[in-house]
Amino acid sequence: EAGVTQSPTHLIKTRGQQATLRCSPISGHTSVYWYQQALGLGLQFLLWYDEGEERNRGNFPPRFSGRQFPNYSSELNVNALELEDSALYLCASRGRGIPLEQYFGPGTRLTVT
Amino acid sequence: AQSVTQLGSHVSVSEGALVLLRCNYSSSVPPYLFWYVQYPNQGLQLLLKYTSAATLVKGINGFEAEFKKSETSFHLTKPSAHMSDAAEYFCAVSREANDMRFGAGTRLTVKP
């Protein structure tokens, strides 16, 4: 069974540009979560999508947005990039109901210069 | 609201020594608890989970954790550390689908 996949692996952007990160969940999983892992700050919850709808978002500005497609894959968009957006962005997926564990992808390393 | 606290941001052990990584949770009702491991520049991998079936949970790579309700703890242990265990370990608590909380992480170093 294929795991969670993310693309691209690395992304380099300049300040003010937009970044788009993609995630494909495990087959059969309907929920996708996005996290930001900046150096020294642990995992910060960004967004949760389930069945195509945004269900919850963390304490991030509106320039962080995303969507979930009918095939349950997801996209994270970051507009007006700032230097502090440089981080590892992790996507996780979860199946329906119990259990509640999330399965993580390898991440996208975003560097803003 | 539920949360987890990982005691010790860095733990160093010698190869072959006992590994003990501490996690305490706060939750108004019995939660689901998880331990994840993250190797450098990789995503998180699920080590084990507690879902109330048994208080002693065995995971992958020889790790296990014991749920102690009286101490609100879910410490991760491994009898004998291996060099390949060097990584960052995260404890997490969840009760509902929209609310998984991660600890700050503990970086494990294994000395030869």
- Across the interface, do A92 and B44 touch by the CB < 8 Å criterion? yes
Of A6, A42, A103, the CB nearest to B104: A42
CB contact under 8 A, A92 and B42: no
- Most A-contacting residue of B100, B101, B106 (CB-CB within 10 A), to test interface: B100
**Residue-level pLDDT at B94:** 84
Chain B residue with minimal CA distance to A98?
B97
What is the predicted pLDDT for the residue at A95?
Answer: 85
- Residue A43 and residue B102 in contact, taking contact as beta carbons nearer than 8 Å: yes
State how far the Cα of A61 lies from the Cα of A47, in Å rounded to an integer.
11
Using alpha carbons only, give the angle B41, B95, B72 rounded to the nearest 5 degrees.
85
pLDDT of residue B98: 67
DSSP string, A59-85: S--TTEEEEE-TTS-EEEEE-S--GGG
Nearest to A105 among B32, B43, B100 (CB): B43
Give CA–CA dist A109/A21, Å, rounded.
10
Contacts of A90 in chain B (CB under 8 A): 43-44
For residue B83, the 8-state DSSP code is: G
The answer to whether residues B5 and B23 touch, using CB atoms and an 8 Å cutoff, is: yes
Contact residues on chain B for A33, CB-CB shorter than 8 A: 100
* A contacts of B49 (beta carbons < 8 Å): 99, 101
pLDDT above 70: percentage of residues in chain A: 97
pLDDT (tens digit per residue) in A39-58: 878 899 999 999 999 999 99
- Chain A CB contacts of B104 below 8 Å: 42
pLDDT at A22 over 90: yes
What is the average pLDDT score of chain A?
Answer: 94
Tens of pLDDT along B44-60?
A: 999 999 987 788 999 99
